[in-house]
Amino acid sequence: MATLLEANGGGPQKQPKYTPIFMDRAFTGLYTQRVVLHDPSDVSTARFYGGRPEALWQGSNVELTNRLTLQRRPGLTALSSSVYSTPPIRAFSFQLADGTIRLIIDTQDSGALVLTAAANASGGNTVYTGTFPGGASNGYSGLIFTVSGFTSPQNVGTYTCTASTLTTLTLNNANGVSETHAATADTAGGVYYDQQNGVTSLLVAKSPGAGQTNFIAVAGVLYMGDGTDIKKYTPLNINGTIWNWGITAPATQPSVSITASGAAATVWQANTVFSTMGLTKDTNATPQIWQVIGVNADGTNTATAQFGTTGNGEPNWPTAEGATIVDGAVTWTNLGPVSPILPSTYYTDLGSAGVGGENYSKPGAGTAVNVIYGNYKNSGGLGNTGSSLPAFSGAYPGPSGGYFNNNTHWFAIGSYNTPAQTAAMRWKPSHTYTGWSAGGSSASILNGTPGFVLTGNLPAATGTIVYLMVPTTGGLSSSGYSPFPANAGFGATKDDGQVKWLCLGTAAWAATTGYVPWSAQGLPFGCVFDGTNFQVCVKSTGSGLTSAHQPGTALATTVSITTSVSGTQTTYTYGTGYAFTPNPGDQVAFSGFTNAGNNGTFSVISATSTAIVVNNPGGVVETHSATATFNPWATGYGSTTVDTGITWTCVGQNVPWAATQIWNLPTVGFQPPGPSEAFGGSFVDASGFVQAIIQSGKSGGSAPAWPVTIGSTVTDGTSPQATWQTVAAVSANSLAWSFGLAYAYSYKSRSVIDFYSPAPLGGGQTPPGSVSLGAPLGSGTNAISTASPVNQIVGANPGAVNTIKGIYSPDPQVDTIIIWRSADTASGSGTMFELTEIPNVPALAGVSQWSFNDYLPSVASGGFPGLNVLIPAPINSANNPPPSTFLPMVYNYQRIWGANGESVQFSGGPDVSTGNPNEAFNPADELPFLAPVVRLVKTPQGIVTFLTDSIEMIGGGPATATFFSVTMAPGVGLLSYNALDVFAGEIYFFSSDNAFRVITPSLNLSNFGFPLGDQFANLPSSGVSDTTWNPKQVYVAVHQNGIDNCIFVGDGSTGWYRLNPHQVPGAAQGPEPIWSPYANITNGCQMVQSVETSPGIKQLLVGGKLPGKKILRRSLSIFTDDGVAYDANFVMGSITLAHPGQLALLKFLEFDFSGVLYQPTISYLLNEISGTFTSFVNGAAGVPQFDPPSLYGDTLSPSTYSPNRYYFDANAYLARCRHLQIKVDFGTTSNADELYSVTVFGRLIVET
């Protein structure tokens, strides 16, 4: 292989020939991960293109420029005069909606600051003395400090700084006491708005324990998280700028007070049964309970009637044709159902009834044109109609000859054209009925009051059968009967005049039996009579069975019982033994003791046959005649009894049935008192107040004197006596429901464009039933919290005003409360929509509650819009704020994504139908990983997720259910958020294994840091470390600003390496990554970040390690660090000139420098890979000479640059070597010193 000299025309010794090795392009840069004796070129480049002799081995503060020259690195100048009390660690360019940019600076923890003393508190503050490097000019003002180490507890704690100097720290500690003692103070730093003109504003004082702040800006709002707090910044909001990110949901459900409106109340009337549940107990051998469920059973009432009259006590008619029933002295016979006369149909001879030999296989009568016709003269046999019927006239009385049809003969026997005619055909008590005429002649037909009765009115309702009953034995009818058949069965119904009854089963309580809870009007439910009151089953839990022992059973009656007391427990001992042993948790009532503390109902803790231990802290030692009752029945209206798996509600006394008795049926029916309706029975409107029945009874002949005080009661009538309670004033506004309602509420920060915000930006509307909300007073981001727990009302209500109450939010950003309500349903939590909005008053949080009277309809009515079905309630944590430890990192798929420990969480985004999608974080929206998440990067393929030990990819979307993760690069991790930056789809990062890598847009992983791999690994090939690299402290910054296009990899302490990732022209394969020597920043640096500081302008910002310093920016026209000059130098080589057996004889080195008469220090190292360099002494022995000397001589000099030639013989010895290193030291100047080219001039000799 030819040497460099040979490749450039050098000849052997016998033909002496000097030749230059001319290097006019520096395109290799710093390459330390190699053997110093060869350059980093590949084989082909070394053999055919002369290799890369200009490769740098070491250096400091020199950069390889886009001009392919080596220049003193550009310096740093102050961004502004602002100083930061704690070192900056992150900068963020926040672009506002108006296009302007605000520079946001995050600063780090101060570390433990030394305190020596504390003074007595004065004016609410305590002054601490110590050393505070960043405290000058109130530098710490507004920051939060944690003080520890003092012996007086009044001096330690967490406080906000109100003033500071270099030696004093004033904190808002109102309780400080004078003390001299070694202690410390620490602040986590803050987030600032830097106006770049010397003015900074503290936005957020970070809480103790906070780390670096992460930022995401969306739609003019800056969201931030530091591992302890989550905040948002709204710079254009006149109400304030810093708010909590998201809104915490109300922790408790709203309370709901239901007040009867009187909308469903009726008018009081005399001699009417007003009842709590419409119940009566029949008098059968096995009594049953019946409930009123209708008041138009016979069709004589109106469909909307609220009053119905029971029947007159007619017999319980048999339903089989030919069947008989005795009624006093009368025997009635069923002659069949009455229905329209049909052609070609058989009919019984009606006239033969009661004379023997009757044929009851077919009805003997039928109807036509509202008249009942009977078939006669068939000699007791069957007759059949023809294929067509006669033209019945509908006249009553009808033609004396009747109507012949085939072998039937029809006579009009009754009409139902008028109510009076209908009533005439119904049974009458204590009435004399003549025996049914026999013989079959028309002369026997009575044309006045019919001698038969119908069991129901005509025309009959669909499904109702009306029978014709005739008195086959005449006489006086009875005075009346109860309508209730024996053993009717649970759920059976019975028509009784206008009243329809529903059977609820036997009245007696049954042990270990399941009962059906009340659910809705018209459906059967469990009900028992305890001897005094009706008890309605309202709940079935656990086993769903009653106890083995009936509530109210006597355990011991008027016997000597002894009490003993131990702590909160009282033991009741009955030596003879109780009737049975109750179980723990059962209720037992004791009465009769002299000491009142021993009387009452208590919960059983334990029991034996002779001793019962209850939870009674007021017990007193006593022996006295007393009574013990097991689980006594509740007696007050609405009070409950828990009977193992059944809960009973007391609804009061029985009202015995009576004939022609008027009963009231409320418009929505009856229901047991409960959450939906505290008064589930009759209501009347009296004196402008709603009066609710609380004890069933029959009203008197005149109205009582109605009270007008809410809660007052009045009795009414006798046998039995009713009791009314005044429950509310009658309201013109009312809300009714049949099944139930669900209520909840959320907190909201109303935006200026909200429908309820003032015009012209907002809709200018007033929420229904509310007040004008005015201009927004909070953050204005339309954040809406998750709905509170739900208050579900189950049951119907005929008309009420519901008073909803809840807790004000103390969060200043909340100016509005949304009230959610379901439509009419018993399970409405999933179907709640916006009802209305009311103002939130943060100052009233914890002081009072908000209140809203709800009478609004579910659908648009009466000027009210109804529920807004376009705004569903956010339930099941859908709109939770992000966790306090959430670190936002990227915005993708219209969602904010970030890290929370070992998981990635994301906002609801397009899933959010109510509220701000950037402030709604459902806890279920997360992807778990196996290591801490450090950084997320958005790419077209998905979100590249950097863990501490691997690189993952989150793919799928945009639907939440489609997101998934896969591993991209196992074993390649990231330890610092700052150790990564992105440009044009390329992801540059300093990995956890101390390597600098890049992920290309095609997701290929490359090692761009290979040339400096030894330095990054802290294992330098040269034996000289530029710095120590810790992947937790590294900063990577992509900087693109005109011709200054590069990547900076900082160590977070002293400086950086600069990388041009695509240096032109590069090698044969094109542009390649080129590194410049290490930049040693004066006074060190920590933060290195390229930030857009004004629209379109990016600057490299540099933050130091020390407190009380300015942020610096990189400038291509300045070559000092904040006015301080720095040395710049590099080492090139080793340059191999000859192979073993050969020697290079060097005559001079030539350098072309910028500047005029510029003479940097040039030195060289021959035949060694390390050691002391030999310097050319400038100004001695003609060093240097201007090149070429023949042109310039001793008197002339170049006027535009410095072409300097350095002869080796100026150092008094020949330069003979196989390889050499060249060092150029630009010195400590403030100039843009630059090397254009270098030449090594020599020849080759062969050793002999």
List pLDDT tens digits, range 394-405: 888 888 888 999
- Region 416-435: what's the mean pLDDT? 89
CA atoms of 527 and 540, how far apart (whole Å): 13
Reported as a single tens digit per residue, the pLDDT across 190-201 is: 999 999 999 999
Rounded CA-CA distance 28/314 in Å is 118
- Among the listed residues 1071, 1037, 1078, the one whose alpha carbon sits nearest the alpha carbon of residue 1055: 1078
What confidence category does residue 434 fall into, taking pLDDT thresholds of 50, 70 and 90?
confident
pLDDT of residue 450: 67
With b for 16 or more beta-carbon neighbours within 10 A and e for fewer, the 891-900 pattern comes to: bbbbbbbbbb
For 538, half-sphere exposure in the C-beta direction (CA atoms, 13 angstrom radius) is 23
Over the stretch 1214-1238, which tens digit does the pLDDT of each residue have?
799 999 999 999 999 999 999 999 9
CB of 813 closer than 8 Å to CB of 823 = no
Question: For 41-48, what is the mean pLDDT?
Answer: 83
Task: Say if residue 1012's pLDDT is above 70.
Answer: yes
Closest by Cα among 1247, 1222, 1234, 1237 to 57: 1222
Distance CA 420, CA 214 (A): 89
Question: How do strand 554-566 and strand 569-573 relate by DSSP bridges?
Answer: antiparallel
pLDDT of residue 10: 60
| 322, 326, 332, 338: CA torsion to nearest 10 | -70
Q: What is the dihedral of CA 659, 662, 663, 665, to 10 degrees?
A: 130
If you average pLDDT over residues 505-523, what whole number do you get?
Answer: 94
What is the spatial distance between Cα 809 and Cα 817, in angstroms, rounded to a whole number? 9
At 438, the pLDDT band (50, 70, 90 cuts) reads very low
Of 1161, 1182, 1170, 1183, nearest to 1235 (Cα)? 1161
Between the alpha carbon of residue 94 and those of residues 216, 344, 986, the distances in Å are 9, 95, 22
Structure tokens at 627: 């009574």
Instruction: Supply the pLDDT for residue 380.
Output: 74
In the predicted model, is pLDDT for residue 1 greater than 50? no
Residue 288, pLDDT above cutoff 50 = yes
Q: Which pLDDT band holds residue 358 (cuts at 50, 70, 90)?
A: low
Residue 226 has pLDDT above 50, yes or no: yes
Q: What are the E-state strand segments in 11-112?
A: 19-23, 56-60, 62-64, 70-72, 75-84, 88-95, 101-107
Q: Of residues 486 and 443, which shows the higher confidence score?
A: 486
* CA 145 to each of CA 87, 100, 184: distance values in angstroms, whole numbers, following the listed order: 16, 33, 10
Average the pLDDT over 986-990 and give the result. 97
Residue 758 and residue 780: Cα distance in Å, rounded?
13
The number of angstroms, rounded, from the C-alpha of 1240 to the middle of its chain's C-alpha atoms is 73
Q: Report residue 354's pLDDT band, with 50, 70 and 90 as the boundaries.
A: low
Dig out the tokens for 565 from the structure. 């007391």
Across the chain, how many H-helices and E-strands are there? 5, 93
Cα–Cα distance for residue pair 817/1079, rounded to 1 Å: 57
Mean pLDDT confidence for 649-669? 94
Q: Strand 1234-1246 to strand 70-72: parallel, antiparallel, or no bridges (unpaired)?
A: antiparallel
Instruction: Determine the average pLDDT of the residues in 71-100.
Output: 96
Once rounded to an integer, what is the mean pLDDT over residues 4-26?
70
pLDDT tens per residue across span 517-539? 998 889 999 999 999 999 999 99
Indicate whether 878 pLDDT > 70: yes
Give pLDDT tens digits for 126-184.
999 999 999 999 999 999 999 999 999 999 999 999 999 999 999 999 999 999 999 99
CA distance 260 to 677: 8
| % of the chain residues with pLDDT over 70 | 97
Helices (H), ranges, 1166-1247: 1189-1192
Is the distance from CB of 290 to CB of 504 less than 8 angstroms? yes
Question: Over 491-503, what HEC string results?
Answer: CCEEEECCEEEEE
pLDDT tens sequence across 301-329: 988 899 999 998 999 899 999 899 999 99
- Which one-letter DSSP state was computed for residue 436? P
Q: Report the distance separating Cα 784 and Cα 790, nearest Å.
A: 16
Residue 4's pLDDT band, with cuts at 50, 70 and 90, is low
**The pLDDT of residue 300:** 87
DSSP letters spanning 278-315: -EEE--SSS-EEEEEEES-TTS-S-TT-SEEE------
Task: Let me know how long the chain is.
Answer: 1248
d(CA 231, CA 240): 13
Check whether 38 has a pLDDT greater than 50.
Answer: yes
**Choice among 7-21, 818-832, 879-893 with the minimum mean pLDDT:** 7-21
1022-1055 pLDDT, tens digit each: 989 999 999 999 999 999 998 999 999 999 999 9
- The confidence score (pLDDT) of residue 16 equals 54
Q: Please report the pLDDT score of residue 2 as a whole number.
A: 52
**pLDDT averaged over the chain?**
93
Token pair for residue 115?
A: 């305190």
The pLDDT, as a whole number, for residue 674 is: 84
Owner of token pair 């319980």: 316
What pLDDT digit, counting tens, does each position of 1090-1134 carry? Answer: 999 999 999 999 999 999 999 999 999 999 999 999 999 999 999
Residue 8: its pLDDT value, please? 67
For the chain, the maximum distance between any two Cα atoms, rounded to a whole number of angstroms, is: 170
Q: What is the pLDDT of residues 827-847, one digit of tens each?
A: 888 899 999 999 999 999 999
Query: How crowded is the C-beta side of 587, counted as CA atoms within 13 Å?
Result: 16
Nearby residues of 1230 by Cβ (< 8 Å), 6 or more positions away: 75, 1118, 1119, 1120, 1125
Across 20-40, average pLDDT: 90
Query: How far apart are alpha carbons 707 and 728 in whole angstroms?
Result: 11
Residues 6+ apart with CB under 8 A from 523: none
User: Which tens digit of pLDDT belongs to each residue from 237-275?
Assistant: 999 999 999 999 999 999 999 888 988 889 999 999 999
44-48, 308-312, 760-764, 1147-1151: the lowest-pLDDT one: 44-48
897 strand-pairing partners: 890, 906
1156-1196 residue pLDDT tens: 999 999 999 999 999 999 999 988 878 899 999 999 988 88
Tokens in use for 495?
A: 């028509």
Report pLDDT digits (tens) over 109-126. Answer: 999 999 999 999 999 999
Query: Peptide bond preceding 1184: is omega within 30 degrees of 0, i.e. cis?
Result: yes
Contact 839, 815 (CB under 8 A): yes
C-alpha dihedral (1058, 1060, 1064, 1066), degrees to nearest 10: 90
CA distance 949 to 953: 14
Joined together, the tokens standing for residue 747 give: 């907190």
437, pLDDT greater than 70: no
Question: Looking at the predicted structure, is the pLDDT value of residue 447 above 50?
Answer: no
CA-angle at 775, arms to 773 and 777, nearest 5°: 95
Confidence at residue 442, expressed as pLDDT on a 0 to 100 scale: 38
Band (49; pLDDT cuts 50, 70, 90):
confident
Residue 980 has a pLDDT of 98
HEC assignment per residue over 684-729: EEECCEEEEEEECEECCCCCCCCCCCCCCEEEECCCCCEEEEEEEE
**Helices marked H in 1106-1196 — which ranges?**
1189-1192
CB neighbour list of residue 1070: distance below 8 Å, 6 or more residues apart:
none
For residue 34, what is the DSSP state? S
